Amino acid sequence: MKLGTTYICVSDMEKSLAFYKALLQQDPFYCNDDRWITFHCGNSISIYNKKYDEKLIEKGGHIHFNQAYLDDFYKPEEKKMNNMVIFNFETDDLKEEYERIKKLNIGEVSEILYVNVHMPYYYFNLIDPDGNIIEISGPYDG
């Protein structure tokens, strides 16, 4: 079996279309009126267990995470998230992409977060118009 399509339920198609066009830097390749819009942007799906990180932190895992990650990890959820899926997009230059996304001003952007459990990993989060978390990761030169 292979993943065919992952799709995001949205409440405002026009606002979401503008958000994803800016984020992905592309026009959709398919549109069906105001119901369905499709972009090409990769083909992986992963699962993540947040409790694993929680156990590392409880054991004094500050060597695995930066303070921004720890602050974000324990930040209370102020609004109900649309789902439990996090979409991860990869970039060749995280710092450059972080600056580009911040300038777009299309949603809340976290600080650059750092995790080092099995390997160094840098990323930041962007919140879409419906509260979905978009994770952007890649090489980073602090």
Q: What is the mean pLDDT of each run of 10 residues along the chain (142 residues)?
A: 71 90 91 83 67 86 86 76 74 96 97 92 92 92 82
CATH number of residue 101's parent domain:
3.30.720.110
N- to C-terminal Cα separation, the chain = 39
pLDDT at 9: 76
Whether 98 is in a domain gets the answer: yes
Q: Are strands 113-116 and 30-32 parallel, antiparallel or unpaired?
A: unpaired
Residue 35 has a pLDDT of 81
pLDDT at position 63 is: 84
**Structural domain for 73, as ranges:** 47-137
Helix H or strand E segment including 95:
helix 94-104
Largest separation between any pair of C-alpha atoms in the chain: 52
In a domain, 35, yes or no: no
Cβ atoms of residues 119 and 74 within 8 Å? no
Number of domains in the chain: 1
Looking at the domain assignment, is residue 7 inside a domain? Answer: no
| pLDDT for residue 118 | 84
Q: Is 69 helix (H, G, I), strand (E, B) or coil?
A: helix
Supply φ then ψ for residue 135, to 5 degrees.
Answer: -100, 130
Q: Rounded CA gap, 107 and 3, in Å?
A: 28
Judge contact between 140 and 112, C-beta under 8 A.
yes
Q: Please indicate, yes or no, if residue 100 is contained in any of the structural domains.
A: yes
Structure tokens at 84: 């439990």
